[in-house]
């Protein structure tokens, strides 16, 4: 490894575990996140080292913004409960000059077309679910159902909203945006995952891993790092369930994109348009079988995007900040990964206490979005500076397009 390569990340060495390579130059690494990284690094099945991205911050068991390569085991909590969460973005033939002066109606049409927020289960399309899903959702669910039934046959307790969540956004930091790139071309971008069923799968196997470990669970640096060992039934079942949830998440994003396009076409606010060739649909909470440094391993990316050579990815900023379409540089030191966003600077509760609606309105000036107490926890100041995050990982990705939001729909 050259001096130049070493200078791009902070090497954190703990005599009790493998190293941590953290791309955090110029960005804050909180003590709680550092401790979690070191806890993971002490596990006996880590392949090489743990990689931390510049958006790294505390999470359940393992940090958000970490890349964990393992051999012979998997940690369900390191994947988390938002299995398959990720991004999708499509470039359109529209330009800024095609947009109306007021974007409010366009935001409202998107909100009508894509259920968002918490599911009511009572047919309220504007709140995340409906009792009679549209035909496209039913068609996609028919393809997913056989594999899901096979999972349920082995684990009957795995249950949750399924078809009614296909094509829905969810809550928290999930969003839909219209953005403009450096040439003022309009992009559609969205962020969501496997919704309620992914959450159910994640929680079930996190607890199952703890049960399987039994008395030795107390020997772990953190009980939430309970793992499943390869060769056991539950390891295979978990990997199968996660891969299914990841497929659910990818299809969920695609269905929402289709609904958004129809909403824009039918809004009466825009001229006819097409989607261009530039489109990305990538996970950032998932597992993947890969080969690194000559050895097959299972890579867990919790809040990280694959950035193999020429891989396209999406790194969004917060509601009022820039976002990026990027191309991976294939850096082996990060296990060919990059950040999945800006990363939180503080918890949601702290953000609600610290910022006001007026603060949020100033921070999101020029963006057609909600400006009320319900989204204060997502205000831009609750996140790290996206420019600093991008600078810290300039050896992991190159910027293809820089986007700025003009419409933002939050769950």
**pLDDT confidence of residue 125:** 42
pLDDT at site 132: 66
Tens of pLDDT, residue by residue over 12-60, are 998 789 999 999 999 999 999 999 999 999 999 999 999 999 999 999 8
Please list the residues that pair with 287 across neighbouring strands: 300
Nearest CA to 254 out of 384, 106, 392, 140 is that of 140
Cα 318 from Cα 345, distance rounded (Å): 11
Give the chain's residues under pLDDT 70: 1-7, 118-132
CA distances from 330 to 71, 339, 397 (A): 21, 13, 8
Euclidean distance between CA atoms 166 and 111, whole angstroms = 15
Say what angle helices 104-113 and 233-266 make with each other, to 10 degrees. Answer: 140
Task: Provide the b/e sequence for 61-91 (b: ≥16 CB within 10 Å).
Answer: bbbbbbbbbbeebbbbbbbbbbbbbbbbbbb
Task: Give the pLDDT of residue 122.
Answer: 33
Distance from chain centroid for Cα 245:
13
Q: Is 165 a catalytic residue?
A: no
Residue 325, SS3? strand
Please tell me which residue in 284, 340, 360, 401 is annotated as part of the active site.
340
Q: Are 297 and 47 in contact (CB under 8 A)?
A: yes
* Pair 260, 113: CB distance under 8 Å: yes
Helix (H, G, I), strand (E, B) or coil at 157: coil
Q: Which of 331, 354, 357, 345 is nearest to 67 (CA)?
A: 331
* Radius of gyration of the chain from its Cα atoms, rounded to whole angstroms: 21
Per-residue model confidence (pLDDT) at position 7: 53
Per-residue pLDDT tens over the stretch 210-266 = 999 999 999 999 999 999 999 998 999 999 999 999 999 999 999 999 999 999 999
**pLDDT for residue 370:** 85
């Amino acid at each position: 490894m050259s001096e130049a390569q070493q200078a791009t990340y902070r090497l954190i060495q703990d005599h009790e575990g493998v190293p941590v390579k953290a791309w955090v130059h110029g960005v804050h690494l909180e003590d709680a996140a550092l401790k979690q990284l070191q806890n993971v690094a002490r596990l006996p099945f880590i392949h090489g080292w743990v990689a931390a991205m510049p958006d790294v911050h505390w999470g359940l068991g393992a940090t958000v913004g970490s890349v964990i390569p393992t051999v012979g085991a998997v940690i369900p909590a390191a994947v988390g409960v938002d299995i398959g969460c990720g991004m999708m973005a499509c470039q359109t033939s529209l330009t800024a000059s095609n947009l109306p002066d007021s974007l409010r109606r366009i935001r409202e049409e998107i909100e009508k077309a894509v259920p968002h927020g918490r599911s009511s289960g009572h047919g309220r399309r504007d709140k995340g679910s409906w009792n009679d899903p549209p035909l496209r959702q039913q068609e996609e669910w028919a393809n997913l159902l056989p594999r899901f039934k096979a999972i349920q046959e082995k684990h009957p307790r795995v249950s949750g909203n399924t078809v009614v969540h296909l094509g829905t956004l969810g809550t928290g930091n999930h969003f839909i945006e219209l953005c403009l790139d450096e040439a003022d071309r309009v992009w559609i971008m969205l962020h969501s995952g496997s919704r309620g069923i992914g959450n159910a799968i994640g929680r079930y196997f996190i607890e199952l891993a703890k049960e399987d470990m039994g008395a030795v669970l107390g020997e772990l640096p953190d009980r939430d790092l309970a793992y499943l060992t390869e060769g056991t039934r539950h390891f295979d079942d978990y990997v199968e369930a996660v891969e299914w949830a990841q497929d659910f998440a990818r299809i969920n994003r695609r269905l929402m994109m289709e609904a958004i396009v129809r909403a824009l076409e039918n809004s009466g606010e825009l001229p006819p348009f097409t989607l261009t060739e530039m489109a990305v649909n990538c996970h950032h909470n998932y597992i993947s079988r890969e080969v690194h440094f000559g050895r097959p391993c299972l890579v867990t990316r919790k809040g990280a995007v694959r950035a193999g050579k020429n891989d396209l990815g999406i790194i969004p900023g917060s509601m009022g900040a820039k976002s990026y379409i990027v191309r991976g540089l294939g850096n082996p030191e990060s296990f060919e990964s990059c950040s999945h966003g800006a990363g939180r600077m503080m918890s949601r509760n702290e953000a609600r206490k610290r910022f006001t609606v007026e603060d949020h309105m100033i921070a999101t000036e020029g963006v057609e979005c909600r400006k009320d107490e319900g989204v204060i926890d997502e205000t831009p100041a609750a996140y790290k500076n996206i420019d600093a995050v991008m600078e810290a990982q300039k050896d992991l990705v190159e910027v293809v397009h820089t986007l700025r939001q003009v419409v933002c729909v939050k769950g």
